[in-house]
Amino acid sequence: MNQSRARITAIGTYVPEKKLTNADLEKMVETTDEWIVQRTGMHERRVSADDQFASHLAFGAVQNLIDGYGKDLSDVDCIIVATTTPDHAFPSVACLIQNHFDIPATGAFDLNATCAGFTYSLHVANNMVSSGIHKKILVVASETLTKVTDYTDRSTCILFGDAAAAMLVEYDEQNPSFLASHMGANGAGGAHVYRRTFAPTLHGQELDPSGKMVQNGREVYKWATRTIPGGVEELLIKSGIERDKLDWFIPHSANLRMVESICDKAGINVENTLTSMQYFGNTSSASIPLAIHKGIKEGKVNDGDTMLLYGFGGGLTHLGLVLNWSPDSPKA
């Protein structure tokens, strides 16, 4: 990884008000609170309103960032939004954010790397800023997965929730946040988790025409628990950081049992992980920044902490980052 010249300076999050509890799911499909908690660690999820879309959640997260850190967005020169559930095929959610906050001179685009979308977006932002071409990039993750969840499929409907998060990445040659990165993909496994739009088949396999998410949880679990520990090892080698010097491991909050298995195979203490799935569900690209912000609010995350973020999901895609967490001071 080339020398970074980019620092994460602020963070904000937003979740819808409506909750979907395990008790609610018991009334919808054949399941129980005990079964869900044992297999996923989840108790609640947040659900967007019928007239609330990815852009609206994104507006809330960005406004939370502004309110929390007193940030001015007028000089943002690029907006990157990680999402698999945009309001429209086009215009992009990023363009809707540009319009909503009246940012005068900025590029704007959406990025789809599913549950790895936020780490992919941070990686792109870091390289754009470190090149010297950009100075201030707004990175957002916003997902409304409940709108594409099949609530007759008890194996998947218990998992997903809606949320958004935002970070600012700014030029800082003296105190960069980004220490190492590792990325990869396995397109051969794409049919293990998908949502059909136009093409009726993938790798010769007929796809469900409903437009809802379809997931082979067993295969995704096997891929993630085999792939991510190796990626963690690569990141530790690249960063030169010893495992016991890592303050926080923050994987995609797909499922608590999956996270526990990854930690076991990667040699990381589960107590040193931050997750967000317990009361927000699997929020895809938003899950990692949601976990970080939750850790800040709970007094766990401190300035100068070393974090290993690892996003992974459909595609199949994965990308990990080692960060030095040193944002600006929040407003009093």
Catalytic residues: 115, 252, 282
Per DSSP, the three-state class of 71 is coil
Give the number of other CB atoms < 10 A from CB of residue 152: 11
Provide the token pair at 237.
């080698």
d(CA 321, CA 122): 9
Cα 79 to Cα 60, 177, 178, 231, 276: the distances in Å are 15, 19, 19, 28, 24
Helices 33-40 and 256-266 meet at what angle, rounded to 10?
20
d(CA 131, CA 8): 16
d(CA 248, CA 116): 18
d(CA 65, CA 248): 22
Give the number of other CB atoms < 10 A from CB of residue 238: 15
